[in-house]
Copies of this chain bind each other. A is one copy, B any other.
Amino acid sequence: MQMSKLYAPTLKEDPREAELASHRLLLRAGMIRRGAVGLYSYLPLAWRSINKIEDIIRDEMEAIDAQEMQVPILTDGDLWHQSGRWNAYGPELMRLNDRYEHEYALGPTHEETFTDLVRNELRSYRQLPVTLYQMQDKFRDERRPRFGLMRGREFIMKDAYSFSATQESLQECYDKQKQAYANVCERVGLRALPVVADSGQIGGDTSVEFMALADAGEAALVYCDDCGFAADTEAATAGVTVADGEPGDMEKISTPGIGTIDDVSSFLHIPASATRKALALVDGDGKPVVCFVPGDHELNDVKAEHAFGEYHLMSDEELKEYGLVKGFIGPVGLPDGIRVFFDESLRPSEWWTIGANEADFHFVHAHPGRDFTIADNAWVDVVTARAGDRCPKCGAPLKEARGIEVSQVFQLGTKYSEAMGATFMDEDGVEKPLIMGCYGIGISRTLQAIVEQHHDEHGIIWPVSVAPYEVEVIPLDVHDELVWPVADKVANELLELGVDVMVDDRKERPGVKFNDADLMGMPFQVVCGKKAVKNGNVELKVRATGERTEVAIEDVARLLAQRVEAERA
């Protein structure tokens, strides 16, 4: 590709709309453009990368017998009514009527469509399992589209659906997809963690999200380097560890004005994790609740809503109203009528330091079961895990990271097949609902996540496997009668060797060319300058490391082709 012909309008200034580095760089490098809010065009360079990501997905899907096809984007409203999601989905589902006033939705996901497709056609256990997938634009009317391709209203997704006769077969389809997703992440150059999104009733995970690690990620994660455990702090129970107090008889001590965790911790010379934070709140039913959590951990809003409904923390007035003493609340001697809960992580702790429900006093050596009781149903999981907590799988200390959800695998079971009457005849002659799984990869989001992980202050650094072009040849002076023929020759040799190559044949100054090359981020640059060429050489620059070497003109294409081939994945 000659750059003089390429449609890739670069920007010198940072575009205002972009908050993330990846978003900014994709805009600046002339790879994406915003149409309306949350709606992006993929310009030729980005589109090449999208195609390469899709090819890698295709390859992984083919290896596990998943079959590519395509269903319409317009999905019949009737199907959404059958599954019950027409009403459940809310304003994110984009809806429209046709000229005959029939209802349609723009597919945000296609469980209904695929279930409808196979019902009456997958009729026998002998035809199962089947996994079908597509790569297609999806639609979600985000309340607040942002971060470029990260949270758009139209985005490219690979969605797969498996249909099985047995739970074992579903598990097998699910495991294969999970492995394929891990492979895809690796092959496109994404450092990603498979995060357990929830645990099944029958043990094992039934949903895993692949999180690309990035400081700009919307999800907060903890993970274990030792055993590979990873969890979303918003969703999963991490093994929060707390320090214990000293054994002894419960003793009331004077703590004048010592009403915060930090103060208690300093005053008593104990770690914050050995203190207990008391959270007073009014739950979704309007009832007063006190919940105790480790002093060094925060209440997690999502988990707390799960436990208490639409709660709010008590105001000073409410604390007074319920007879609670701000800063000194503890489980011993709480006023009547207040329900008490304890975070799961406190279970192992035997000796507690707690507020005395009296201004300026605490209890030490309080012992659950002896000094206060904890009902069996009082345990809740409400805090956010954090670095240093113990891995619930292996006990090693967890690390913290932020992540971008790029894909998810999910065991659906019979939710859709039952609702929509998609059954098959089993070996035993009994009609049963198909057992389903669904598996999604955000392709456009993956593209941006790759850039978020692979860039520096100068621009993008594409992994070879998904680079729009693998090599950029840069003749510093296209009019020079020595330089241009060399650039042309090297580019042609590379092409013949099957390398994706672009040539900066523009009549621009070397500085402009170097800047654009670094901004656009092709993995290898072949710089053809007069001096080197005179000596029979060109300069090879590796974008990722900045490493430069002089290579003989006659060797460079072969050398590069080998290197590209090796890194293609």
Mark A residues whose CB is within 8 Å of B. Answer: 5-7, 9, 33, 35-36, 39-44, 46-48, 50, 65, 67-76, 78, 91, 94-96, 98-99, 102, 104, 106, 113, 116-117, 121-122, 130, 132, 136-137, 139, 141, 143, 153-154
Contact: B76 with A36, CB < 8 Å? Answer: yes
5 CB < 8 A contacts A-B: A33-B117, A33-B121, A35-B71, A44-B67, A73-B73
User: What residue of chain B has the Cβ atom nearest to residue A95's Cβ?
Assistant: B96
Could you tell me if B67 and A6 are in contact, using CB atoms closer than 8 angstroms?
Answer: yes
How many copies are assembled? Answer: 2
Q: A36-B102, A36-B104, A136-B137 are in contact. List 4 more A-B contacts (CB 8 A).
A: A7-B132, A41-B70, A41-B72, A106-B106
Contacts of A96 in B (CB 8 A): 94-96, 106
User: Across the interface, which residues of B come within 8 angstroms of A117, CB to CB?
Assistant: 33, 35, 41
Chain B residues near A68 (CB-CB < 8 A):
44, 47-48
In the complex, the chain B residue whose C-beta lies closest to that of A153 is B74
Of the candidates B41, B43, B46, B143, the one whose C-beta lies within 8 Å of that of A99 is: B143
- A153 — which chain B residues lie within 8 A by C-beta? 74, 98
Q: Which 10 A-B pairs have the closest CB atoms?
A: A96-B96, A44-B67, A39-B72, A36-B76, A9-B121, A41-B71, A91-B99, A47-B69, A42-B70, A72-B154
Task: Knowing A67-B44, A116-B35 are in contact, say whether A98-B94 is a contact too (CB < 8 A).
Answer: yes
Q: In the complex, A35 Cα to B71 Cα: how many Å?
A: 8
The contact of A36 among B74, B137, B154, by CB within 8 Å, is B74
A263 to B50 alpha-carbon distance, docked (Å):
69
Closest to A31 in B: B69
Q: How far is the CA of A94 from the CA of B100 in the complex (A)?
A: 12
Contact indicator A70/B95 (Cβ below 8 Å): no
Chain B residues whose CB sits within 8 angstroms of the CB of A113 once the complex forms: 35, 41
- Cα(A102)–Cα(B153), bound, Å: 13
Q: A39-B74, A76-B35, A104-B36 are in contact. Are A7 and B95 (CB under 8 A)?
A: no
**Bound Cα distance from A401 to B364, whole angstroms:** 98
